[in-house]
A and B are shown apart, each in its own frame.
Chain A
Amino acid sequence: EAGVVQSPRYKIIEKKQPVAFWCNPISGHNTLYWYRQNLGQGPELLIRYENEEAVDDSQLPKDRFSAERLKGVDSTLKIQPAELGDSAVYLCASSLDRRTQNIQYFGAGTRLSVL
């Protein structure tokens, strides 16, 4: 069974440019998460989806970040415009159902470098 798939693996952009990340969760997983991991830190939640509904976006910087999961399957995370401080690894994770044992399965991440 395929795991969580993220693309691209790496992205280098100049500041003020837009960037988008894509995530395809494990088939059948209703819950999808986007995390940001800065160097030397643990992952920090940006947004959580239950199917197509964003149920927790309290940590998402809404002035420049947006996300969507239109059909409740794959998801995109966008930054526009990117700033130097956005350089990080962006991780996507999915879980079967948050009401059951909530084990999250992570993708390999997208490493973003903003120059």
Chain B
Amino acid sequence: DQQVKQNSPSLSVQEGRISILNCDYTNSMFDYFLWYKKYPAEGPTFLISISSIKDKNEDGRFTVFLNKSAKHLSLHIVPSQPGDSAVYFCAAMNRDDKIIFGKGTRLHILP
């Protein structure tokens, strides 16, 4: 039973446009959410996070939105750049500090 779902295995976006990556979760006990970015042959790197007490967190070109009632979060990247091409993992934590990752979404930024 997947507790963190990224239903789009891949996404292609034109350079300069907005990239929107989506994530759904099932466990209402999750109270902290993170996005990680992964390049080939490298480990995941932390991108941005959000606590369940907030509904938005912004860091430069990256914004994460959290809709607790829908158990949904999204990552917005604007404007998208070629270096953003990577696999993006959504992750969620509960109060036991156990982190659950989604399967990832591969983002392709098109020239």
Contact = CB atoms under 8 A, between A and B. Distances in A.
Question: Is chain A's binding surface mostly helix, strand, loop or mixed?
Answer: loop
Interface string A89-115: 001010000100111111111000000
Contact of B49 (A48, A93, A103): A103
Contact of B104 (A42, A91, A98, A106): A42
B32 A42 contact: no
Contacts of A98: 97
Interface of A: 4, 40-45, 48, 56, 91, 93, 98, 101-109
Interface string B39-64: 00111111001000000000000000
Interface residues of B, number: 23
A90 B98 CA distance: 18
A42 B34 CA distance: 13
A97 to B, nearest CB: 10
Given A42-B89, A106-B45, 5 more contacts: A42-B4, A42-B91, A103-B49, A104-B46, A106-B43
